[in-house]
Amino acid sequence: MFSKWKSKKEEKHTGHTIEIMAPISGEAVSLSEVPDETFAGGHMGSGIAIRPSEGILKAPFDGTVAHIVKSSHAVILEHSSGVQLLLHIGIDTVSLKGNGFVSHIASGDQVKAGQTLIEFDLDVIRAAGCDTISPVIVTSTEETPPQVNGHYGQVTAGQDLILTVASK
């Protein structure tokens, strides 16, 4: 009855389901396997992690680059529904200061599903003593966070479903 007074932004954030494709090829595993309590404990949000088999990060959906970290080891993408996704390559990779990472995007860019966002060198990451496991996190500032369901196993970037996100 009062829906005509809802803001456009409010309407965008309610009652939708988004399917998120794998942004990296490899093995999709539970966040609890990430050797960093901030991610493993869900403090950054709900999601999944991927043990990469190749060093290419692709857009998991059409959206906007909300932010890319200067060292190119992490990016936040925003879906048209308002859902934001943190894609974090490896653990403690900020210490590499961009070494081994090549970004093909900038904050504010529009991206298409399957588009290459960042290339990363798994050997450089491992040689620095960093874990390559890569969290994929649905961030939420909403009072009622979305329901996030993970799909595990071997995945191919841009082809296999890894997360289903349903907002309330």
Catalytic annotation, residues: 88
Type of residue at 60: P
Q: Helix (H, G, I), strand (E, B), or coil: what is residue 122?
A: helix
* Residue 119, helix vs strand vs coil: strand
Question: Which helix (DSSP H) or strand (DSSP E) does residue 48 occupy?
Answer: strand 46-52
Alpha-carbon Rg for the chain in angstroms: 16
Q: Are 53 and 160 in contact (CB under 8 A)?
A: no
Beta bridge partners of 68: 75
